[in-house]
Amino acid sequence: MENQQRNWYVVRCFSGHEKKVKEYLQREIGLQGFEEKITEILIPSETVIEIRSGKKRTREKNFFPGYIIIEAIYDDSVNNLVSNAPSVIGFLKNDKDSNRPTPLKKEEVNRILGRASKAQEAGAASLVEIPFKKGDLVKVIDGPFKDFDGTVEEVYPDKLKLRVLVSIFGRRTPVEVDVNQVDPDA
């Protein structure tokens, strides 16, 4: 009998299809009785809040788009089940000549699982993705500087604010505005 040790493996799939692959595999594991061979399927992700067009949106952000990780006892039947799933490219292998995937190291797994659990513990409120960066051209759409054009000088993600350089009386002046008070300058 082959190695009966449970390891974590990386499975490549089409980007954006991770949830679909996970649901398919979970359904097939139950139907084919593979619960002992494949014990866990993870899509390492975090919940982030994006601010677009002045509106807050919550979404799941994958740490590794196009990849899922599974804990399994690897054998030919597990390989066939996973590799033949829709939208799956296959197991990630270090050697092109190798027929077996390389399991993740314990440190890698702990880092991935630790990162995923920290993101869940922190909650969505602390994870905000601001669509602006230093040097972006923006138009102020609200507040006392409405209709002014400017350049982002600094981003304060913890405060959801930006420091924007606007031209007032022909002079570049820094002003602090909320992220939802600006739009990308078209």
Q: What residues have CB less than 8 Å from 76, skipping those under 6 apart?
A: none
Q: How confident is the model at residue 18 (pLDDT cuts 50, 70, 90)?
A: very high
**C-alpha separations of 22 from 28, 38, 130 in Å:** 10, 12, 29
- Residues 53-77 have a mean pLDDT of 86
Radius of gyration of the chain (CA): 23
pLDDT digit string (tens) for 132-177?
889 999 998 888 888 899 999 999 887 888 999 998 888 888 999 8
Query: Where are the strands (E) in the chain, listed by range?
Result: 7-13, 38-42, 45-52, 55-62, 67-72, 88-91, 128-129, 137-140, 149-156, 161-168, 171-178, 182-184
Going from the N-terminus, what domains does the chain have, and what CATH number goes with each? 7-128 (3.30.70.940), 132-184 (2.30.30.30)
Helical H segments across the chain, by residue range: 18-32, 76-83, 106-122
Which range scores top for mean pLDDT: 42-51, 82-91, 108-117, 171-180? 82-91
CA 67 from chain center: how many Å?
10
Q: How confident is the model at residue 125 (pLDDT cuts 50, 70, 90)?
A: very low
Cβ(82)–Cβ(11) below 8 Å: yes
In the predicted structure, residue 81 carries a pLDDT above the cut 60: yes
Average pLDDT along the chain: 84
Cβ(163)–Cβ(156) below 8 Å: yes
Residue 93 token pair? 């292998």
When mean pLDDT is compared across 44-58, 59-73, 169-183, the lowest value belongs to: 44-58
pLDDT at 59: 79
Beta strand 45-52 with 128-129: parallel, antiparallel or unpaired?
parallel
In the predicted structure, residue 15 carries a pLDDT above the cut 50: yes
Q: Does the pTM exceed 0.85?
A: no
pLDDT digit string (tens) for 91-123?
988 777 677 888 888 888 888 777 666 666 655
DSSP 102: P
